[in-house]
Structure 1
Amino acid sequence: MAGPLRLGPVLRHVDDRSAAVWVETDRAATVTVRLEDHPTGRTEWHRPTFAVHDHHYALVEVTDLTPGWRTAYQVLVDEEVCWPEPGTPFPPSTLSTTTGDGAVRMAFGSCRTSVPHDALHHLTHGVDALRTFALEVADGGTGPMGRRPDLLLLLGDQVYADSTSAAMREFIASRRDLDEEPGPELADFEEYAHLYGLAWGEPALRWLLSWLPSLMIFDDHDVRDDWNTSAEWREQMEATSWWHGRIVAALGSYWVYQHLGNLSPGSRARDPLWQELLRRERDADGREVDLTAAVDAFAGEVDADPTTYRWSYTHPLGGSHLVVLDSRAARDLTPGSRSMLDGPEMAWADEQLTGGHDHLVVATSLPFLLPRGLHHLESWNEALVDGRWGRWPAVVGERLRQGLDLEHWGAFSESFDRVAAMVDEVADGRRGQAPSSVVFLSGDVHHSYVTEVERTTGSRILQLVCSPIRNPLPRAMRALVSGMSHAARPLGRLLAASAKVPDPRWSWHGVAGPWFDNNLALLEIDDGHLRAAWVAGRVLGGQDDRPRLTTVADLELDVPPAGSQHRPAVARVHPGVVGGTRGRVLRWLERRADRRGRDADPAG
């Protein structure tokens, strides 16, 4: 990026009294966040940058704010106004504190590749749903909810360290030989920093991130495909010449770019790396603190022993509560006693999954509820690898596990049942007053859907999946995934029974979906009311740079009072839904309009 502000500002954790603004600069500097106005009279907050591998960062904590206050802000680097940029076509960036109650609207999704937004890449990668939404809001639109969201939750694969774009490969080739390991994959912190610049530097997305508070959690591609699938997978990676450098760079850069901003002021004050930074700043006599050695040592220690650090966190959502679970780094991969969450992480989850909220929202990058047949198939595979059918079938089972990505919650069946039992207690009112619903939010699987746990009393339990934001499955793969979802049900149940795998604690069924195109989900939580919509970008009239926002599905997920008798719900679909016969007609009309636009504008 031109100018001293290399990346950002990115608005991160915001509550009723504080906000965190993250930036990357091109040099050591003092970064200032200046509010247009504020009732207390204070309008400026400052932070010095800190360095990691010759890159410079600051996270400015804007504190002592007024609940429900909204104002425009600027970012200054050494007293030079760097944001908003001169001549920007986007509206002013604003900072809005929460009130602690009322409706909350959240956007969420996962899996976003960083490639150009032109006709060629729309063919290969589809239209970027997040960028399309940013353009819609910048033009004064709001999407189907009728109001801007209050929060953006990114559920993994925000950067692809293992499947790099042409621009990223060109940068890597300028530094080292692509024929040497790890080839076109990322090798170190410098390459991660460049990849984050590609991912967050696009103008419309950069503007969106400057005003919409964001929370994040990693998934496998932030590190490498199938990260922590099994103990054997880890052994294979650790035997390479490059894995240690990759994981240290991945976790270190994740702390800098993503995790630090997830934390509330209180949690950040307890973070050991943040404490180390503050300690060094006190002794630095105004010089920039170089945190490189501390970040690298931290990342290496956390990878070696995941129990030493927690990437999971919580966040208030008005009268509701969000719990974000790390379902990647916190795994216990010990054969025979595998767990999606290791001992300390499972105990922490047990403490956080409580009632007393309007809704309990649980975010985990991997869907908690896959289609039933696939869940059975993964549980069977887990038993197979554990030796249920003998030594050689176990070897085959490990090959299947890695080859077919059989590493979701169903592949950690004891963990699944333990978390399901916790959620049952919440839904039954045994952990405080039962919420109206427990809602799981997830991504990862490159298609979107809604499922519901079959219950007759207590809170409803729903799973909402949104994937991908921009990385669609090829059409042939879509048919395969859809077919497997149906075929796997009798096969998976049969195989699981043959290996004497107990049925999972829950039964569940599909409510809506699947949808395979790139999309972004919007969730509205208002007392006992839930509404969810999935939106996507469509190119009309050859205007590849200005796609239009369309609604894929708009669902009213009405919630009966907690504790009442209720049937498994069928979501009401709004008239704007693009699905079924009507959806096919709408898509045909869109294609006709697109062709007419191209005919009228040959240059398009």
Structure 2
Amino acid sequence: MTLATGASDLHTGCMSGALVLGPLVRHVDDTSAAVWVQTERAAEVAVRLDGGQGEDRVWRARTFAVHGHHYALVEVDGLGPGERAAYQVLVDDKVCWPEPDSPFPPSMLTTTSPEGPVRLAFGSCRTSVPHDAVHHLSHGVDALRTYALALADEAPGPLGHRPDLLLLLGDQVYADSTSAAMRDFIASRRDLDEEPGPELADYDEYAHLYRLAWSEPPLRWLLSWLPSLMIFDDHDVRDDWNTSVRWRQEMEATSWWHGRIVAALGSYWVYQHLGNLSPAARAQDPLWRELLRRQETAGPDEVDLTDEVDAFAARTDQEPLSYRWSYTHPLGGSHLVVVDSRAARRLDPGDRAMLDPGEMDWLDEQLSGGHDHVVVATSLPFLLPRGLHHLESWNEALVDGRWGHRFVGLGERLRQELDLEHWGAFSDSFDRVARMVDEVADGHRGPAPSSVVFLSGDVHHSYVTEVERVSGSRILQLVCSPIRNPLPRALRALVAGLSHAARPLGNALARSARVPDPGWRWHGVAGPWFDNNVALLEIDAGELRAVWLGSRVLGAEHDRPETTVVADLELDVPPAGSEHRPTVAHVHPGVVGGVRGRARRLRERLASRH
């Protein structure tokens, strides 16, 4: 609800702790913005925009409760395209944001503009541990926090401007690999020697985990003005979530899994998914509709949505077709499609699918031409190195009995131990999506975009690959992982080696199991990079530029690390229908591991083909 009022009608004096988390600016378009908060108690939450010389504008929402925690999502509407204004958050008419004496710039609401480039920051896999020498050694420097500090200092970045959107591609929280602070909280409630031990058990523990993840001051400030979109991955729930029927059977046989999955999906809807939705999509969401229905009759009293959230979470786990976690979002003249590659799986042996039939049909509808670029975000990379892709396809055939029944158990053990559960392990789904994208890129679904770009995380290293094509739109895979959870150095060498060694091995194994070759061939453009990173993608009409940013500590200033440019790639995009030009890859001189040489050799190889 919108209410015009003068600033003098409202007053400061927020009680300490009244605002537990937030504000987070979530879905933003050209006329509206969603602001999400968690409060200490039942309250009325207001967002007030500075009216300058005129009257301030205020939008209000009552909190709702889930398991004793209190939330509000304020829909700020009636704005103009490209409008930018400082805002405040009030809890029961007392200003609680910005905090007094904050060292950070004012939080702003900025609607989208139909003109100009779009700058998207993205990444995945962020653990929440302290920012000191010990944890910098074990977990690396938090790339997103470092980037937030640089933005707060208004330091000129590689793109010269602040991003317009932050896309978090999974493992925003780790429910199965908890920090010391999280374990202390769990131990204060139950015995760590009882199942599920130091892993999360219920909604209260998820609420505390999100509080640890999102209360870091620089990150909290960043999320208070940079619109964010999110999608889950396995560690938001548990490692290897929905890998196979066998995995689900093992989980469901435990004493704790039902409580975990209900808490995981219920808290995900509250903390992450609700803010992903546009006003129109939110108005059709069954939980949101139920909340509004109850609020109409509750008057000023807070609505407790606990039973509905729990029932909804249990139902969506057992009946994936009953709800869709995927969604779309406009990017200026381009189109973003965010795909759930975890909860929508079909796991029947011999009939496995990354996306169930309803989800696949929905994706089919979203992949169309007529955009500058089509951007598909999925937590799991659609394109792994080709050898690893073949290895996963072989493993799928092995578990399906292609080598005989005696190897099925071995195949399942390998699947879970080696995480062989990406798109290559769902061959039919990979082939179907590849055909859809080919039709988009070849102009069979409307005017061909300049490119189709997959954005992903999950694999704890970053890289760029490209599908080999002679005409039509370019098809690229950009991966940024982790934000803060690097592989140990010994494993980095193993992963890099496997990426190369797996190619002949994977090819041979796939042939032995009569696995057809995928319809695509693809090659590496740049990477891999293993340190913590956050990536920036700039979309400017037909042009693309991608930058990976890392962090480093100077001297003893562990609390104030410096942002470094790991890679800066100008991805030249030819006009639709013309032959491709070589990729121009500029890699920061400080990057080690032969990246510059590989990029140079790649350019030479591509140039020789054209």
Which amino acid letter does the alignment assign opposite residue 47 of structure 2?
V
Could you say which residue in structure 2 is the equivalent of 1:405? Answer: 419
Q: Secondary structure at the match of 1:167?
A: helix
**Residue 331 of structure 1, aligned match among 336, 339, 345:** 345
Is residue 224 from structure 1 mapped to residue 200 from structure 2 by the alignment? no
Distance 1:270 1:166, change over 3 A: same
Is residue 372 from structure 1 mapped to residue 386 from structure 2 by the alignment? yes
Distance 2:155 2:437 in 1: 37
Distance 1:564 1:39, change over 3 A: farther
Which amino acid letter does the alignment assign opposite residue 442 of structure 2?
D
Contact kept, 8 Å, 1:178 with 1:184, in 2: the verdict is yes
TM-score normalised to structure 1 length: 0.95
Which amino acid letter does the alignment assign opposite residue 462 of structure 2?
S
**Residue 267 of structure 1, aligned match among 281, 284, 293:** 281
Distance 1:246 1:99 in 2: 41
**Residue 356 of structure 1, aligned match among 343, 367, 370:** 370
TM-score normalised to structure 2 length: 0.94
Q: Secondary structure at the match of 1:506?
A: coil
**Residue 573 of structure 1, aligned match among 586, 589, 592:** 586
Pairing 1:22-171 to 2, within 5 Å after superposition: 22-37=36-51, 43-171=57-185
Which amino acid letter does the alignment assign opposite residue 525 of structure 2?
V
Distance 1:458 1:340 in 2: 27
Could you say which residue in structure 2 is the equivalent of 1:436? Answer: 450
Distance 1:39 1:562 in 2: 49
Distance 1:580 1:296 in 2: 49
Report the identity percentage: 76
Distance 1:60 1:73 in 2: 12
Which amino acid letter does the alignment assign opposite residue 386 of structure 2?
R
Is residue 415 from structure 1 mapped to residue 437 from structure 2 by the alignment? no
Distance 1:345 1:464 in 2: 23
Is residue 389 from structure 1 mapped to residue 403 from structure 2 by the alignment? yes
Contact kept, 8 Å, 2:570 with 2:583, in 1: the verdict is no
Could you say which residue in structure 2 is the equivalent of 1:545? Answer: 559
Which amino acid letter does the alignment assign opposite residue 196 of structure 1?
Y
Could you say which residue in structure 2 is the equivalent of 1:592? Answer: none
**Residue 559 of structure 1, aligned match among 557, 573, 583:** 573
Q: CA deviation at 1:505?
A: 1.2
Q: Secondary structure at the match of 1:387?
A: coil
Q: Secondary structure at the match of 1:573?
A: strand
Contact kept, 8 Å, 1:554 with 1:576, in 2: the verdict is no
Distance 1:394 1:457 in 2: 42
Query: Deviation per CA, 1:423-442, whole angstroms, max 9, x where unpaired?
Result: 00000000010000000000
Contact kept, 8 Å, 1:522 with 1:532, in 2: the verdict is yes
Query: Deviation per CA, 1:177-229, whole angstroms, max 9, x where unpaired?
Result: 00000000000000000000000000000000000000000000000000000
Q: CA deviation at 1:141?
A: 1.6
Q: CA deviation at 1:99?
A: 1.3
Distance 1:353 1:488, change over 3 A: same
Distance 1:380 1:267, change over 3 A: same
Could you say which residue in structure 1 is the equivalent of 2:6? Answer: none
Which amino acid letter does the alignment assign opposite residue 107 of structure 1?
A
Q: CA deviation at 1:542?
A: 1.1
Q: CA deviation at 1:582?
A: 9.7
Which amino acid letter does the alignment assign opposite residue 336 of structure 2?
L
Could you say which residue in structure 1 is the equivalent of 2:18? Answer: 4
Contact kept, 8 Å, 2:22 with 2:220, in 1: the verdict is yes
Q: CA deviation at 1:412?
A: 0.1
**Residue 550 of structure 2, aligned match among 536, 560, 569:** 536
**Residue 528 of structure 2, aligned match among 491, 503, 514:** 514
Contact kept, 8 Å, 2:546 with 2:570, in 1: the verdict is yes
Which amino acid letter does the alignment assign opposite residue 570 of structure 1?
T
Pairing 1:286-365 to 2, within 5 Å after superposition: 286-365=300-379
Distance 2:50 2:596 in 1: 45
Query: Deviation per CA, 1:399-418, whole angstroms, max 9, x where unpaired?
Result: 10001000000000000000
Distance 1:346 1:35 in 2: 41
Contact kept, 8 Å, 1:553 with 1:577, in 2: the verdict is no
Q: Secondary structure at the match of 1:399?
A: helix
Distance 2:117 2:413 in 1: 47
Query: Deviation per CA, 1:263-322, whole angstroms, max 9, x where unpaired?
Result: 000000000000000000001021000000000000000001000000000000000000
Q: Secondary structure at the match of 1:255?
A: helix
Distance 1:86 1:40, change over 3 A: closer
Q: CA deviation at 1:574?
A: 5.3
Q: Secondary structure at the match of 1:247?
A: helix
Q: Secondary structure at the match of 2:224?
A: helix
Contact kept, 8 Å, 1:552 with 1:579, in 2: the verdict is no
Q: CA deviation at 1:37?
A: 2.2
Distance 1:39 1:292, change over 3 A: farther
Distance 1:39 1:110, change over 3 A: farther
Could you say which residue in structure 2 is the equivalent of 1:214? Answer: 228
Query: Deviation per CA, 1:221-240, whole angstroms, max 9, x where unpaired?
Result: 00000000001100000000
Is residue 191 from structure 1 mapped to residue 241 from structure 2 by the alignment? no
Could you say which residue in structure 2 is the equivalent of 1:476? Answer: 490
Could you say which residue in structure 2 is the equivalent of 1:590? Answer: none
Q: CA deviation at 1:565?
A: 1.5
Contact kept, 8 Å, 1:107 with 1:152, in 2: the verdict is yes
Q: CA deviation at 1:146?
A: 0.7
Contact kept, 8 Å, 1:366 with 1:409, in 2: the verdict is yes
Contact kept, 8 Å, 1:553 with 1:579, in 2: the verdict is no
Distance 2:56 2:345 in 1: 45
Query: Deviation per CA, 1:344-372, whole angstroms, max 9, x where unpaired?
Result: 00000000011100000000000000000
Distance 1:575 1:125, change over 3 A: closer
Contact kept, 8 Å, 1:535 with 1:551, in 2: the verdict is yes
Distance 1:272 1:385 in 2: 38
Distance 1:21 1:39, change over 3 A: farther
Distance 1:256 1:582 in 2: 41
Q: Secondary structure at the match of 1:375?
A: helix
Distance 2:542 2:30 in 1: 22
Could you say which residue in structure 2 is the equivalent of 1:463? Answer: 477
Q: Secondary structure at the match of 2:452?
A: strand
Distance 1:445 1:575 in 2: 22
Unaligned runs of 5+ in 2: 1-14, 598-610
Which amino acid letter does the alignment assign opposite residue 571 of structure 1?
V
Which amino acid letter does the alignment assign opposite residue 532 of structure 1?
A
Pairing 1:170-181 to 2, within 5 Å after superposition: 170-181=184-195
Distance 1:411 1:38 in 2: 56
Distance 2:438 2:179 in 1: 43
Instruction: Provide the aligned C-alpha RMSD in A.
Output: 1.4
Contact kept, 8 Å, 1:34 with 1:43, in 2: the verdict is yes
Contact kept, 8 Å, 1:377 with 1:495, in 2: the verdict is yes
Count of residue pairs brought into register by the alignment: 583
Distance 1:517 1:76 in 2: 40
Distance 2:197 2:588 in 1: 49
Distance 1:203 1:458, change over 3 A: same
Q: Secondary structure at the match of 2:65?
A: strand
Distance 1:465 1:142 in 2: 24
Larger CA deviation: 93-102 vs 446-455 = 93-102
Distance 2:595 2:168 in 1: 31
